[in-house]
Amino acid sequence: MARTSATRLGVQTLEARDNPAGNIQAALEGSFLTLFGDALDNQVRVTQTATAINVVGLTGTTINGLASVSFATTGVNAVEIKMEAGNDQVILNNLRPANDLFIETKEGNDRVTLNGVSVGGNLTVDLGQGADQINATNLTVGVDANIKGETSVVAVLNTASIGQSLTFTGSSGNDRLTATNLTLGGDLVASTDLGNDVINITGGNFGGGASITTGEGNDNVRVDGVRLGFGVAFGKDLAIDTDKGDDIVNILGTDVFGAIFVGTGEGADRVTASGVTSGLDAGFETGVGNDTVSLTNLSAGGSVNVNTDAGADRVTVQNVSAALDANLVGGSDIDTLTNLGITAGNILDIKEFEIFL
């Protein structure tokens, strides 16, 4: 019988193809430092010492094709950092540009960390699209600071001193601004769009005022232990507007040289002001919904105004004083007033409450 020869199988070795790691082009031209990333996941750490700026790639990222690059210098005038698409991470340690610092991260879930950074001019952080985050500790900015994102942004500032204003701009995601020990020469302007947003300011001194605006969603705003408006001739205001949603607003242990205004839109909202002084008027207005307003140890140099609109609302006042008028309006439906002490220099007007405790 004829024997059939077997076919030998083999494995062909193909050309090796590695996934290229992200690369950042870094340059120091005169006193202008630039870092430009690519569309991959770039991760970099920049540290300034007394004699150099060290740029180190992390998790495989290269700097000018190398693991790290060092620039011999005693300082820089300005810094520009631009990352393209990808999940990028930028860490800056003790960086001290004499003028502006500009950071842009574009698409991707990006993270920026600032440790001991001191900016002589303006700070701009544009996080682009994605679930982005910036963390800053011991931050100093000579002029203005501007932080913004296009999807959702989380900003955590722990001990920051800004010569003029801080602007925080969120978008349609769940945005969060947390600032502790914040000193501003000018104003705080925080605005978000749709989403369940959180603005938490704890401890601070603002030369100007604060404007906090959140879009639709179940938002939470807290201003605790802050002095506002004492650095300008006529004072500035604290204005909080939360739009529709079941919102929570807490103003605690806060002094405002100007006026206070809190407005919540439609929804079951809760507003608390405790240990608060206002140099001018203090106004609290809730939209349609079953709302709760609690004012305790509040003093206004002008008038105190509360209007809870439609809904089964509950208002509590305790040790509240107004130099001018005090107006409490319950609105339609069955509203409850717990009066533990409110005084007015001129007119005290209480109306549209059905239950008094």
Number of other residues whose CB lies within 10 A of the CB of residue 192: 31
The secondary structure element, H or E, covering residue 199 is strand 198-206
- Domain ranges in the chain are 274-357
Mean pLDDT of the chain: 92
Check if the beta carbon of residue 39 is closer than 8 Å to that of residue 85: yes
Task: Quote the tokens at residue 113.
Answer: 């960390």
Query: How many helices (H) does the chain have, and how many strands (E)?
Result: 0, 35
What string of DSSP letters covers 79-129? Answer: EEEE--SS--EEEEES---SS-EEEE--SS--EEEEES-EESS-EEEE--S
Beta strands 176-184 and 326-329 are unpaired
Query: Could you give the 3-state DSSP secondary structure of residue 51?
Result: coil
Question: What tens-digit pLDDT sequence spans the chain (357 residues)?
Answer: 444 444 333 333 333 334 345 999 999 999 999 999 999 999 999 999 999 999 999 999 999 999 999 999 999 999 999 999 999 999 999 999 999 999 999 999 999 999 999 999 999 999 999 999 999 999 999 999 999 999 999 999 999 999 999 999 999 899 999 999 999 999 999 999 889 999 999 999 999 999 999 989 999 999 999 999 876 655 689 999 999 999 999 999 999 999 999 999 999 999 999 999 999 999 999 999 999 999 999 999 999 999 999 999 999 999 999 999 999 999 999 999 999 999 999 999 999 999 999
For 129-136, the CB contacts below 8 A with 24+ separation are 130/87, 130/105, 131/173, 132/105, 135/111, 136/160
Cα–Cα distance, 116 to 130 (Å, whole number): 26
Task: Quote the tokens at residue 15.
Answer: 């050309």
Task: Quote the tokens at residue 211.
Answer: 């404007």
Q: Which tens digit of pLDDT belongs to each residue from 31-79?
A: 999 999 999 999 999 999 999 999 999 999 999 999 999 999 999 999 9
What does the angle CA 39 – CA 114 – CA 40 come to, to the nearest 5 degrees?
10
Altogether, the residues listed in the chain come to a count of: 357
Task: Quote the tokens at residue 240.
Answer: 């909080």
Cα–Cα distance, 260 to 236 (Å, whole number): 9
CA atoms within 13 A on the CB side of 232: 19
Ramachandran region of residue 205, left (φ > 0), alpha (ψ -120 to 50) or beta? beta
Cα–Cα distance, 187 to 197 (Å, whole number): 20
DSSP 66: B
Number of other residues whose CB lies within 10 A of the CB of residue 347: 11
What string of DSSP letters covers 272-333? Answer: EEEEEEESS-EEEEE-SS--EEEEEEEEESS-EEEE--SSS-EEEEEEEEESS-EEEE--SS
3-state SS string for 210-255: EEEECCCCCCEEEEEEEEECCCCCCCCCEEEECCCCCCEEEEECCE
The residues near 266 (Cβ < 8 Å, ≥ 6 apart) are 244, 245, 287, 288, 289
Q: Is the alpha carbon torsion for 222, 307, 299, 318 positive or negative?
A: negative
Burial class (CB in 10 A: 0-12, 13-18, 19+), 319: middle
